[in-house]
Structure 1
Amino acid sequence: MKPAAFDYHVPSTAAEAVSLLAELGEDAKAIAGGQSLVPMLALRLAVLEHLVDLRRVEGMRGIERRDGSLWIGAGTTQAAIERDAEVASAVPLLARATPLIGHFQIRNRGTIGGSLAHADSAAEYPAVAVALDARLEVLSPRGARTVPAGEFFHGIYSTALEADELLTGIDIPVWDGRCGFAIEEFARRAGDFAIAGAAVAVQVDGDGKVSRCGIGLLGLGSTPLRAVKAEAAVLGSPAADVAPADVGDTAMATLESVPSDLHASADYRKHVGAVIVARSWQRAVREATDA
């Protein structure tokens, strides 16, 4: 099939882009890399009157180390993130998540902002953002605001963004000290969306006890999830004494409305999820305690 006819707009600034979104209303949609939106348009799962292309918008690309965090412009491609030494050093979890996204052709065009705004619960970047307490920068004609990642994702393809708002950047805290990071997922084929996955960040103190922990889950709900009870259960415990299987079981125990579809039943997803969380936890702790 071919997309339905639409008017095409190419703003040069973020202010111009949000002005267009405000003027055109709900019949308009912003497009960044287009790796998710273009197939939906081609299949007419989405029909729009207006498309606002962000590829020429100034100031929405780049990677900068700032006070205790790493800022990434929403228009920065996944391929650029994958190759960047600053990302690998400052936010290893993001760097390790990126090669799991689709195939390299997808990453050449796909952007971090597009992935976050698309809000697919099986995508890697949303789970990483939730696990690391990222802050998302949003612009509208009313001005700028910041939304914590934990409050950004509302449901399937649904976020805190209003119709006239644009995601312009993401600010990710940099973890210092003895830290370990791991992301694992299970998919039917390489490049497919994950049936279940987990992004884990662990920090230990001088005695090897868990002082900080973030566990993001993907593919296990209508939004990326955070395993807060599993995190709370390990805080203050010697990391080496925590049984990985217990972390996985605790992470799955409180899940509600786990999706069931032709790819996997809810029970199967939870079983796989428990194993994936355990593996990710074990790898992250090994890295943290060896640091």
Structure 2
Amino acid sequence: MQITPAGALDTQVVRIGLGERSTERRLLPEEAAIAFEVNGRNYAVMMATPVDLADFALGFMLSEQIINAAPDILELSVRESEHGWLVGLWLEEDCVRRARQRVRLRTAEGSCGLCGLQSLAQVHRPLPLVDQSLPIADSALFAALASLRDHQPLNASTGGFHAAAFCDRHGYIRVLREDVGRHNALDKLIGALRSEALSPGEGFFLLTSRCSYELVEKTAIAGCPLLVTVSTATSLAVERAKACGLTLVALARSDAMLELSSASAV
């Protein structure tokens, strides 16, 4: 009997062929509403896969620059409700003030962490410069890409998950998180690294998705010097990467990749 992994749902489907139909079972990616509350007040509602939610909460709060470190979260609870999942966070008072200020800038929540901001200047908010002192050989990028599929159990089961991986300087995948949303997968990865006391500056991120500017921002805020994505990057992603000294590599394939931004561009 096949065991349904957490994050997937067993569903009956109808396969349509040329002149015939048949019924079969299929695993689908699970998507649910995840509500974040900060000190009892609503902060955001995200659509995500309800696994690794503690990692998600920690990484999301770090990416949003609400907290500086894991100890800023005094208490964290996760519980399922009738309409989704509720993640309750109790933060230090300085962090609570940041959260309230951030909420005031929002007109709608979005997975990118920037949707609905009233000020267009927030699109070009300053990012921390990343430390490029760790040399990473091109061979490490190809090694990580070659092993990526073996670390994606949910995507192997359903074909519908993004992955965000942390790879060391030699190209070994140390930690990987999956989610139906590319931003969520990266937030989960960032949270997992902080929980396991692994420094993003000691390697690089490898993502299965297209690279938009918010993924660049999350990577820079996390302190990772190199971002590799399987699909292409947008023009704003390249602009933001150059501004903070992030090396950005896109369209990663087994035989070639494109470096769109490097530390020398700063």
Which structure has the highest strand share of the two?
Answer: 2
TM-score (structure 2 length as normaliser): 0.28
